[in-house]
Amino acid sequence: MRLPIILDTDPGIDDAAAIAAALFAPELDLQLMTTVAGNVSVEKTTRNALQLLHFWNADVPLAQGASMPLVRPLRDAASVHGESGMEGYEFVEHDRQAMVKPAFQAIRDALMHAPQPVTLVAIGPLTNIALLLTHYPECVFNIQRLVIMGGAAGRGNFTPNAEFNIAIDPEAAAKVFQSGLEIVMCGLDVTNQAMLAPEYLATLPQLNQTGKMLHALFSHYRSGSMNTGLRMHDLCAIAWLVRPELFTLQSCFVAVETQGEYTSGTTVVDIEGRLGHPTNAQVALGIDVEGFQQWVAEVLALAP
């Protein structure tokens, strides 16, 4: 029985690799994809997501989501992913469209019509997830769990303390971590280790059409380099779903700082339980890097 999932994403070059794994991992059933502003504008993340779905001829509905964080101006990561958000590959023209309803409504509808609880996977800012929980709090009963790429128990990558997905919309992230949802947090503590090695990257163009396309994108991806290895942040969220044994998780209380002048967007991960609050997330603190790399090679080989 394949695991039904909904993927909220801001493609984004590492998002593209995660979408490939979500589509071609035999353990998963990608039922809906939604976009959010993050790496680039939501118009661009939506265009990129549609291009990827067309590239893979995937029969997966897409809904466009929030164009702005809940209360803050949008700041992007075009410096990492290029102005388009997926620099480096010319996708063919197509006529795919996003559905009319916004992402949070599309997620709610998909959850309420599902015969069993669905796993939500969020690999961008958590704005759509926060809107879902605000407008449709009853849907929590139809969510198996939420798996995110976001946050860090250690240092950040957008500010000294804050990881990008959380830093872009701290208010949304705070809402999500306070929601009572079962959360698995794949933060920088593991995603910074989840590198694809230069030797493997060099084999991608000969792997298949997906490898060729990802190699072209990866050549423009600035979280690492083709010569030193690339950090596959978003792939970790998918990897945990299908190979949880690759990760070491610890149940922790996690708070999201929203007030700090220098610290907003920080995920305060109470590993030692010093604050005395009940735990609200399973935080990935360790990863079997070789096992991750082996899995990535296996799952990308299943793509066309």
Residues that bind Ca ion (CB under 5 A): 10, 12, 15, 123-124, 234
**Dist. CA 270–CA 169, nearest whole Å:** 21
* Residue 164 interacting partner from Ca ion, ligand RIB, none (CB closer than 5 to 8 Å by kind): ligand RIB
Does 233 qualify as catalytic in the annotation? Answer: yes
Q: Give the DSSP H/E element, type plus range, for residue 22.
A: helix 13-24
3-state secondary structure (DSSP) of residue 122: strand
Shortest distance in whole angstroms from residue 1 CB to ligand RIB = 28
- The backbone torsions φ and ψ at residue 34, rounded to the nearest 5 degrees and listed phi first, read -130, 150
Give me the sheet containing 247-256, strands edge to edge: 62-64, 28-35, 3-9, 118-122, 143-149, 183-186, 281-287, 247-256, 267-270
Q: What is the closest distance, in whole angstroms, from the C-beta atom of residue 274 to ligand RIB in the complex? A: 26
Per the CB < 8 A criterion, the answer to whether 12 and 39 are in contact is: yes
Minimum gap (Å) between residue 204 Cβ and Ca ion = 20
Instruction: Please tell me the distance from the alpha carbon of residue 197 to that of residue 177, in angstroms, as a whole number.
Output: 33
Strands 229-231 and 247-256: unpaired
Contact of residue 157 among ligand RIB, Ca ion, none (CB under 5-8 Å per partner type): ligand RIB
Catalytic residue among 81, 113, 233, 277: 233
Q: At 96, give phi and psi (nearest 5°).
A: -70, 145
Question: Considering beta carbons, is residue 6 or 139 the nearer one to ligand RIB?
Answer: 6
Q: At closest approach, how far in Å is the CB of 135 from ligand RIB?
A: 24
Q: Which is nearer to ligand RIB, 147 or 149 (CB)?
A: 149
Residues 6 or more apart in contact with residue 198 via CB below 8 angstroms: 226, 227, 228, 229
Q: Which does 104 bind (CB under 5 to 8 A by kind): Ca ion, ligand RIB, none?
A: none
Closer to ligand RIB by Cβ: residue 16 or 143: 16
Q: How far is the CB of 38 from ligand RIB (least distance, A)?
A: 5
Of 157 and 179, which CB lies nearer to ligand RIB in the complex structure? 157
Other C-beta atoms lying within 10 Å of the C-beta of residue 192: 19
**Residue ranges that bind ligand RIB, judged by CB under 6 A:** 10, 12, 14-15, 38-39, 77, 123-124, 149, 157, 163-165, 233-234
Is the CB of 4 or the CB of 124 nearer to ligand RIB? 124
35 binds, among ligand RIB, Ca ion, none (CB under 5 to 8 A by kind): none
Give the residue numbers marked as catalytic: 233
